[in-house]
């Protein structure tokens, strides 16, 4: 099975920024791009269109619906799919709902924080 980069989107994630980082990382790693997102995401249709455009260019892309997406689900998914080579999120701390410990520490692959740079808008 081909390697995959997971791109996890919260309902308020910076979609453009995350797609840019996820696609670039997938290209560099010669990996497929898999997006995990809640079907209730306000830009659900746009997510599908972005993936279609990337698929027409040079990437193999997948969209996996994950209702109520949270850090625990993303980590479990990554751990249960051995072909995952990296997980891309906006701001890791923004995923903490205050009821769980740092789930990201349980990942067995690198975590890429795509919006923690001070020049980027803060993901809440």
Residue ranges covered by each domain of the chain: 11-67+82-94
Dihedral angle, C-alpha 25, 31, 46, 103, nearest 10 °: -70
Parallel, antiparallel or unpaired: strands 4-9 and 32-37: parallel
Q: In sequence order, what are the beta bridge partners of 63? A: 35
> Which residues lie closer than 8 Å to 105 by C-beta, 6 or more apart?
none
CA separation, residue 113 to residues 48, 55, 60 (Å): 22, 24, 22
CA distance 38 to 9: 8
Residue corresponding to tokens 């993303």? 74
Q: How confident is the model over 62-114, as pLDDT tens digits?
A: 999 999 999 999 999 999 998 999 999 988 888 876 655 688 999 999 999 88
Rounded to 10 deg, the angle between the 44-57 and 15-28 helix axes is 30
Give the tens place of pLDDT for each residue, 30-74.
999 999 999 999 999 999 999 999 999 889 999 999 999 999 999
**Structure pTM?**
0.89
d(CA 69, CA 36): 8
pLDDT for res 91: 85
Q: What is d(CA 82, CA 77) in angstroms, rounded to the nearest whole number?
A: 9
The residue count for the chain: 124
pLDDT bucket at 124, cuts 50 / 70 / 90: low
Other residues' Cβ atoms within 10 Å of the Cβ of residue 58 = 9
Indicate whether 117 pLDDT > 80.
no
């Amino acid at each position: 099975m081909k390697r995959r980069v997971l791109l996890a989107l919260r309902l308020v994630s910076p979609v453009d920024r995350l797609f840019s980082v996820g696609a670039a990382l997938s290209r560099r790693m010669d990996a497929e791009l898999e997006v995990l997102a809640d079907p209730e995401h306000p830009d659900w249709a746009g997510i599908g269109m972005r993936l279609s455009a990337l698929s027409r260019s040079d990437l193999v892309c997948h969209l996996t619906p994950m209702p109520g997406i949270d850090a625990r689900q993303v980590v479990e998914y990554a751990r249960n799919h051995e072909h995952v080579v990296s997980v891309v999120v906006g701001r890791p701390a923004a995923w903490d709902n205050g009821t769980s410990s740092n789930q990201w520490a349980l990942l067995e692959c690198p975590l890429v924080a795509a919006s923690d740079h001070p020049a980027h808008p803060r993901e809440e």
